[in-house]
């Protein structure tokens, strides 16, 4: 028997939510004869989500808004507590939002999920002037990653319920998580809660919302996130042979790593290595004693559970080759390349290089990765997508939910 997913979850009572105002439809007037009936609602929801700042660690307000919005649309919504981060304001709870239709607690066959946190800084909502048309551009932080997915998912499910294409008995649940942009702590909290159940649920499929240009992703690269510290011997710069430069060691090691083959695959290409932060030394005339690099590797090889360890071993071998005693590498987390199901009729296919919450949700289920917008503008100053992108995503999510329920 399928377990009731909320039966043993620790949930914050709905009454703890602070009411958030729901803006009316956008003031722009749609003119296209092909305008879908849900356009105003979709654009209004998308606008509200973007307008509420929700940088990772400070997702309380957008979470409260979502609960208010979903309950006003006939959903049951519950809050799953997630631990605070250093950036969480005092007296602001962090929580995942779980929502479903029907009178009973869900025993979900399909979970539709995305994240409600964004990267800094907050960029206000804006929309290109004039009457709304498919090519109308919408900008603002999260417009693509991933509030475009959140809005499209909700409207897609609304459309499926209102047309009776699915019913509450089909057991489809919405799951909106916090913290994806930092460490995936929201999804990890949800996953851990399932593992503590006597009979963990065996849901059939999870549809993850991320910007894939409305193509169905066959998977994404894994990741390896580490710090490397080099330890040298300080001294006067006029006598470099009397010391050991941590900066020089680090530079030599970085060049070798950048030139190395860290692993590749036909599906995901080459493993890449990004030196995200580098520092070392005290002054130009002092042999530096310490140097540090923070890096993010994008892992092109599998398996998912151990592919990153292969890359880590290759990097460690290079560090040992440069100086077996000088380097220390500590890694926060990692995973190998991640595959997802892209064999659904009617969708173009893609692979992506960024990470998602897929590795943070344990279990044997079919994974789908899909959403509006282009990752190349996400996290940037001009994050944007079009009305057509959002509307196509609504249709795409509907197709994926129906497909997943039929499997």
List residues with catalytic annotation.
Answer: 180
For residue 63, give both structure tokens: 């979470």
Report the candidate in 116, 56, 63 with the shortest Cα–Cα distance to residue 85.
56
């Amino acid at each position: 028997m399928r377990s009731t997913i909320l039966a043993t979850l620790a949930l914050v009572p709905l009454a703890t939510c602070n009411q958030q105002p729901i803006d009316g439809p956008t003031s722009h007037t749609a003119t296209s004869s092909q305008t879908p009936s849900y356009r105003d609602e979709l654009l209004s929801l998308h606008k509200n989500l973007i307008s509420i700042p929700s940088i990772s660690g400070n997702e309380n307000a957008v979470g409260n808004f979502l609960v208010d919005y979903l309950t006003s649309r006939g959903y049951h919504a519950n809050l799953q507590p997630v631990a605070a981060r250093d950036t969480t304001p005092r007296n602001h709870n962090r929580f995942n939002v779980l929502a479903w239709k029907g009178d009973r607690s869900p025993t979900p066959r399909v979970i539709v999920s995305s994240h409600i946190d964004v990267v800094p800084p907050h960029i206000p909502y804006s929309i290109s002037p004039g009457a709304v048309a498919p090519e109308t551009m919408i900008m603002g932080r999260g417009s693509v990653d991933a509030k475009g997915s959140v809005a499209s998912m909700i409207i897609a499910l609304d459309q499926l319920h209102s047309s009776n294409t699915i019913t509450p008995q089909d057991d489809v649940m919405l799951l909106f998580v916090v913290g994806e942009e930092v460490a995936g702590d929201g999804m990890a909290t949800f996953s851990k809660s399932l593992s503590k159940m006597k009979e963990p649920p065996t849901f059939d499929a999870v549809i993850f919302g991320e910007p894939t240009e409305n193509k169905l992703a066959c998977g994404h690269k894994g990741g390896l996130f580490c710090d490397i510290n080099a330890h040298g011997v300080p001294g006067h710069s006029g006598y470099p042979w009397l010391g050991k430069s941590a900066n020089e060691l680090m530079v030599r090691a970085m060049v070798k790593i950048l030139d190395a083959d860290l692993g590749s695959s036909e599906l995901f290409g080459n493993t890449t290595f990004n030196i995200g932060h580098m520092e070392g030394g005290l002054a130009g005339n002092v042999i530096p004693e310490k140097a540090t690099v923070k890096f993010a590797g994008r892992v092109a090889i599998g398996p998912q559970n151990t592919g990153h360890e292969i890359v880590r071993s290759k990097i460690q071998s290079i560090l040992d080759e440069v100086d077996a005693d000088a380097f220390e590498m500590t890694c926060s987390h990692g995973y190998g390349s991640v595959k997802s199901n892209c064999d659904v009729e009617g969708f173009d296919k893609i692979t992506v290089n960024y990470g998602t919450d897929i590795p943070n949700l344990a279990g044997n289920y079919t994974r789908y990765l899909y959403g509006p917008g282009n990752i190349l503008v996400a996290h940037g100053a001009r994050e944007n997508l079009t009305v057509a992108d959002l509307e196509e995503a609504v249709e795409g999510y509907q197709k994926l939910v129906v497909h997943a329920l039929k499997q």
